[in-house]
Structure 1
Amino acid sequence: MKKLKIGLLSYRSDPFSGGQGIYIKNVSEALQNRGHEVTIFSGNPLPIVNNKIKVVEINTPGYFETFNSFERFKIFQAQEKTRLDLWDFIETFTGTFTEPIFFGDRLLQNTEFAKTADSYDVFHDNQSISNYPDSINKKLITTLHHPIHVDRDIDLENESSFLRKLAIKRWYSFLNFQKKNLKKVKKIISPSKSSKKDICHYFQYPAEQISVIWNGIDLADCKFHQRTSFNSEFVTIISSDVPMKNLRNILKALYLLKNDGLNAKLTIIGDLREDNKKLINDLDLNDLVSFRKKLPRNELIKILNASDIGIAASSYEGFGFPLVEMIATGLPVIVSDKASLPELAGDAGLKFNSDDVSDLKDKMKELVKNHALRDKLASNSKVRRDAFFGWDEYAKKLEDLFEEIISGNI
């Protein structure tokens, strides 16, 4: 295929937290390695990419680098006080997450974008779903990792305070804005079949305009590890400890397992909320639970190789990178029955009802006691590993969709 000039659009691209920056880095570098000219237009935080890729900073206020109202007011005072700045501040101050809402307007104000926009063959939006003009929309493809409505619903389910529920609904009110904007998008990329189904449901978007492409993942350093001993060591990767990660039910299941006379251990990789630290104390699990904050890649793999069984318990994942990494190292896994996790695990894991602590405990107990089943799942993991592909293959699949957009076949 001919070499393209590609504009990647991302309202934030934090390289160390969440998926935006990680996705943008991998996609941009894979496309550039295939000979395309790639420019990233991003709000702060900016991505960290190789120097062959141009990064254009879109001026954003940075209100969400702090949750202190006084600090936000100081940021506003330093703004030019345009109508856009005033509207952004009011929406932020009254509780709305505004970054995706105003990214499109701020993009159009950028001098570099204004001068070069017409020269791009295609634009690829990373779930900003902002208010773009027709000149962008006619060349636009959007990656929608999963509908954030799911995060909202889970947050509401886990909140009892009426006022806090109102605040949650206000925070997520940007979703109404995105639903309206998505109607203008010709093609969506979804990372899983389950995510595609939910996009259709929440956004009322036509299924035939959604292409499912599993995310690329680099497994070169994530070798299959043949375990020669068993020490009842469980591991789970949660990154940020939000209700959607379902860590509370893992801890409760570990407690039930302990009451059944099995002192299995659990390593948690990621941040830990205070209420879950309290739960560990209340359930007297301190001797059985260890946790590590965000780790370098080599340290993460060492911990996975030292573990016996992986748990991916999330109530929702558009695409579960940690699960794929666990499978790649040969871990037998236990996965929740929600969203993309069963799709990714295939026959390399046992499924449990994500809302049922006893069901999770039973699956944990079954794998601790059943050596033959562990070996079977580990063997299946070795086969399942080959179903996943790297970012170069992902970029090839993108090129086919870009060509459809450019040729007007979408």
Structure 2
Amino acid sequence: MHNPLHIGIDARMYGPRVGGGGPGRYVEQLVLHLQKIDDRNRYTLFCKRENFGDIPLPNKRWTKVVTDVHWYTLAEQTVMPRAIDKQKLDLVHFPHFNVPLRVRTPFVVTIHDLIMLEQPWSARATTRSRIVFELKRLGFAKTLRHAVQNARHIITVSNHAKNQIIHRLNTSQNDISVVYNGFDIAVPKSANTKQTSNRGSSILSRIQTPYIFNVSNSYPHKNIETLLHTFSFLLADHPNTTLVLAGPSNEFQDRLKEEAREIAIPDDRILFTGFLRDDELTALYKNAALYVIPSKVEGFGIPPLEALKNGTPVAASRASCIPEILGDAAIYFNPDDIESMLEAMERLLTDRSLKTALLSKSHAVLARYRWDDAASQTLRIYERSVS
């Protein structure tokens, strides 16, 4: 058995407080489950001042270091390498592609997707000018290639992403492991508290039922604009249906609000909720008539799994990794075809036997994604990468 390792984890994106999105949830759950299963190695977590108090330390083998540097900045390239190398680690894990170019410590990197490489410039694809967008993409490509070429090992979250990395970045399949994100199929304890019940009831009181639900950051690859147009047609036969879109407010969401007005979706038939707590999201998942994920590109896709866990059927895009993750527990549509999306949504609204059949398959799908398994596989990768 090897000597205990000193492992660093870049936890600046940890949790929802700092806006780290999917990678933030990933590193949060990875840390919490490594704390449960690893009783040998030492860990140092690099975090921001803002999320420092959110990260528990279960014993003396776990420490935290404030590295108050935002991602994708010049300081990330200058301050982070010094902070990491100072700790004299055996290995550091970057949970996103943004590995500082000058870091000397051996590292493992998780690459969730290649969305930035796949997204061509257009006025709707970005809030930036074409020149700024292309410069940003060049920086992304350089950082990504550095991460891939210099990592001791690469982790990714789907076979779809693995194949993309191999073919687009000329990487050996032996250097990449697929470790599916975990998914806790138990209902959170907080969902039973009075506070949760009150918050859930409050958000539900703002919504007319039945409603169709989606959670996303509104970025163009999420394809919410096509969902809006599809919903406008659906209202012809289902005029009492509401579309509920959860996610943080941003410039892309402002564009969607304007688009909804332009295509004359009534104000009382669409709700942009803004950021919601987990317990509020649980209430919305549980009471939705259906969940729809129209994305053209995804890294993994936790929200439709949340819907299945809460007994809500899913209509999903037949694109990217989505069919790989959801398997036979969803009904699929072409994300570029409004008629295809409309048909899938209408079938779930009207066909009770279809809903029952899909949900009967959901438990087996959800059981494939366990954070304990993800943490165990990741720990083995750490140990192999140092030996």
Q: TM-score range by the shorter chain?
A: 0.7 to 0.9
Quote the residue 1:228 is aligned against.
none
**Percent identity, aligned pairs only?**
23
Alignment of 1:55 with 2:28, yes or no, is: no
Cα displacement (A) at 1:318: 0.6
Q: Which amino acid aligns with 1:56?
A: V
| Aligned counterpart for 1:252 among listed residues 211, 215, 229 | 229
**Normalising by structure 2, what TM-score?**
0.82
Counterparts of 1:315-334 in structure 2, within 5 Å, are 315-334=296-315
Cα displacement (A) at 1:301: 1.0
Deviations 1:237-276 (A, max 9, x none): 11x2211221111111111112345542222111352221
Quote the residue 2:367 is aligned against.
386
CA distance in 1, matches of 2:358, 2:188: 18
| Residues 214 and 292, structure 2, Cα contact 8 Å, conserved in 1 | yes
**Normalising by structure 1, what TM-score?**
0.78
Deviations 1:156-201 (A, max 9, x none): 373599x822221122221232244121223110011111122223
Alignment of 1:146 with 2:113, yes or no, is: yes
Q: Which amino acid aligns with 2:269?
A: L
Q: Which amino acid aligns with 1:40?
A: L
The secondary structure found in structure 1 opposite 2:328 is helix
Quote the residue 1:369 is aligned against.
350
CA distance in 2, matches of 1:141, 1:251: 40
CA distance in 2, matches of 1:59, 1:262: 49
- Rate the CA distance shift 1:178–1:43 in 2: closer, same or farther, 3 A: farther
CA distance in 1, matches of 2:15, 2:137: 20
Q: Which amino acid aligns with 1:174?
A: G
| Residues 10 and 46, structure 2, Cα contact 8 Å, conserved in 1 | yes
Quote the residue 2:201 is aligned against.
none
| Aligned counterpart for 1:40 among listed residues 41, 45, 59 | 45
Quote the residue 1:87 is aligned against.
none
- Rate the CA distance shift 1:55–1:284 in 2: closer, same or farther, 3 A: same
- Rate the CA distance shift 1:222–1:156 in 2: closer, same or farther, 3 A: farther
CA distance in 1, matches of 2:114, 2:243: 30
| Residues 125 and 219, structure 2, Cα contact 8 Å, conserved in 1 | no
Cα displacement (A) at 1:10: 5.3
CA distance in 1, matches of 2:29, 2:15: 13
CA distance in 1, matches of 2:16, 2:117: 23
CA distance in 2, matches of 1:121, 1:198: 29
Cα displacement (A) at 1:310: 0.8
Q: Which runs of 5+ in 2 are unaligned?
A: 190-208
CA distance in 2, matches of 1:159, 1:322: 22
Quote the residue 1:266 is aligned against.
243
Counterparts of 1:113-128 in structure 2, within 5 Å, are 113-117=84-88, 120-127=89-96, 128=98
Q: Aligned-residue CA RMSD in angstroms?
A: 2.7
| Residues 12 and 51, structure 2, Cα contact 8 Å, conserved in 1 | no
Segments ≥4 residues shifted beyond 6 Å: none
Cα displacement (A) at 1:221: 1.9
Counterparts of 1:121-270 in structure 2, within 5 Å, are 121-127=90-96, 128-133=98-103, 135-137=104-106, 140-150=107-117, 152-153=119-120, 156=122, 158-159=124-125, 164-181=129-146, 182-221=148-187, 232-238=210-216, 240-260=217-237, 263-270=240-247
Cα displacement (A) at 1:326: 0.9
- Rate the CA distance shift 1:174–1:13 in 2: closer, same or farther, 3 A: farther
CA distance in 1, matches of 2:340, 2:113: 26
Cα displacement (A) at 1:21: 2.9
| Aligned counterpart for 1:107 among listed residues 67, 73, 80 | 80
CA distance in 1, matches of 2:163, 2:48: 29
Cα displacement (A) at 1:222: 5.7
Quote the residue 2:198 is aligned against.
none
Cα displacement (A) at 1:151: 6.3
CA distance in 2, matches of 1:288, 1:340: 31
Quote the residue 1:6 is aligned against.
7
| Residues 331 and 381, structure 1, Cα contact 8 Å, conserved in 2 | no
| Aligned counterpart for 2:376 among listed residues 396, 401, 404 | 396
Deviations 1:69-119 (A, max 9, x none): xxxxxxxxxxxxxxxxxxxxxxxxxxxxx42x6535323333xx44431xx
Q: Which amino acid aligns with 2:160?
A: S
The structure with the largest alpha-carbon Rg is 1
Quote the residue 2:193 is aligned against.
none
- Rate the CA distance shift 1:299–1:180 in 2: closer, same or farther, 3 A: closer
Cα displacement (A) at 1:32: 2.5
Cα displacement (A) at 1:309: 0.9
Report the count of equivalent residues: 353
